Amino acid sequence: MALPPTNLQTIEAHMLELQSLHPTASGAFTGLFGDIALAAKIISREVNKAGLADDILGATDQENVQGEIVQKLDEYANDVFMKCLGTRGQVCIMGSEEVADPVYIDPGEGNGNYIVVFDPLDGSSNIDANVSVGTIFGIWRRKNRLNNLGMEDILQTGAEQVAAGYVIYGSSTMFVYTAGHGVHGFTLDPSIGEFLLSHEDIKTPFNGKIYSVNEAYEPRWTPEVREMVRALKYGRQTKETSRKDAPSRGSGMSTRYIGSLVADFHRNLLYGGVYLYPPYEGKPQGKLRMMCEAAPLALIAENAGGYASNGQQSILEVTPDHLHMRTPLYIGSRDDVLWIEKTLSESGDSI
């Protein structure tokens, strides 16, 4: 007979503990996290049987607002999020990477305090090859009354998020979140259908040994980005390399690139390192989305002791100009990303 799990703290229990820090809390925020965790469990079930389930693999015949082919699981994950978050009264507006416009929700009897922007299944082009994929979400509080909502309630900075998180559907399904009191990871025990605390108070290393970037774009990067990546490869002076016993191969980093942002980010968060998606010729703002990818992961990185930049400033300081705004992204170990930002901003590398 299996031993009882060592740590029995579920994500709901963790949120209730967090709620106790806010005596006036209504429980709506805790309820919202329960809705997101429910969506994650449902999506995890489908992702993990994708190879067996008929008609859930492969692409639909549609393109999303990003001009990307919608995978069947993208569509499924988006529907699950819309249903789990849109019918429980906590959310007044949802923004999805898969949907062109914001979705305004009638919270019914609920207080509809929150705006949730999400990428329901990031990296889904990898799904047919059984590569880890993920969900990313950011949560903001509305600024206006329910009968007067608008873009001002949606286009808020990453620093104004009340919480952010991601789910990684990999060798196990993990739910990682921050609400400003540290970063905590929960692993799904599918036999009991609960996310159990497995990584309490995650802190990311100050420097890392990994850089994650798609080097196929190298010919289309600016000279400054090219030089910066070269320095990551061949070594730059850091507190580590100035040590007498610095590793013989200098501070050069190793490359690891899965092509699935959540998987690359999660590995670098735990091990240390940087993920880069620079602008390139034809994509002056890069590929990644500010609100449903960069800002939520930036809040997590910062709360774990890391940093996230667009090459000129902190991602968390940027006010989006539209729901699907793209941004260059350099994210991970604090000292490494600060060095990247200093190097690019001194070179005046425009974004």
Which residues are near ligand P6P by CB under 6 A?
122-123, 125, 214, 259-261, 264, 287
- Specify the residue, 92 or 136, whose C-beta has the smaller distance to ligand P6P: 136
Query: Rounded CA gap, 147 and 112, in Å?
Result: 11
Task: List helix spans (H) across 142-198.
Answer: 151-154
- Specify the residue, 251 or 260, whose C-beta has the smaller distance to ligand P6P: 260
- Specify the residue, 125 or 345, whose C-beta has the smaller distance to ligand P6P: 125
**Residue 260 Cβ vs ligand P6P, minimum distance, rounded to whole Å:** 5
- Specify the residue, 30 or 212, whose C-beta has the smaller distance to ligand P6P: 212
Q: Dihedral angle at the C-alpha atoms of 57, 59, 65, 66, nearest 10 degrees? A: 90
Angle, helices 295-303 vs 261-271, to 10°: value is 10
**Residue 68 Cβ vs ligand P6P, minimum distance, rounded to whole Å:** 7
CB of 269 within 8 A of CB of 305? no
**Residue 311 Cβ vs ligand P6P, minimum distance, rounded to whole Å:** 17
* Strand locations in the chain (E): 59-63, 69-71, 91-96, 103-104, 114-122, 133-141, 163-169, 173-178, 183-189, 194-199, 210-212, 254-255, 274-277, 307-309, 329-332
- Specify the residue, 125 or 241, whose C-beta has the smaller distance to ligand P6P: 125
**Residue 122 Cβ vs ligand P6P, minimum distance, rounded to whole Å:** 5
**Residue 12 Cβ vs ligand P6P, minimum distance, rounded to whole Å:** 28
CB of 342 within 8 A of CB of 311? no
Query: Rounded CA gap, 108 and 105, in Å?
Result: 9
* Strand locations in 239-348 (E): 254-255, 274-277, 307-309, 329-332
Token pair, residue 165, equals 């998180």
Query: Rounded CA gap, 263 and 248, in Å?
Result: 29
Q: Identify the residue whose tokens are 């008609």.
A: 55
Token pair, residue 143, equals 């600024």
- Specify the residue, 34 or 278, whose C-beta has the smaller distance to ligand P6P: 278
Query: Rounded CA gap, 48 and 334, in Å?
Result: 34
- Specify the residue, 260 or 314, whose C-beta has the smaller distance to ligand P6P: 260
- Specify the residue, 142 or 287, whose C-beta has the smaller distance to ligand P6P: 287
**Residue 167 Cβ vs ligand P6P, minimum distance, rounded to whole Å:** 13
**Residue 44 Cβ vs ligand P6P, minimum distance, rounded to whole Å:** 18
- Specify the residue, 32 or 291, whose C-beta has the smaller distance to ligand P6P: 291
CB of 136 within 8 A of CB of 293? yes
**Residue 326 Cβ vs ligand P6P, minimum distance, rounded to whole Å:** 10
**Residue 188 Cβ vs ligand P6P, minimum distance, rounded to whole Å:** 21
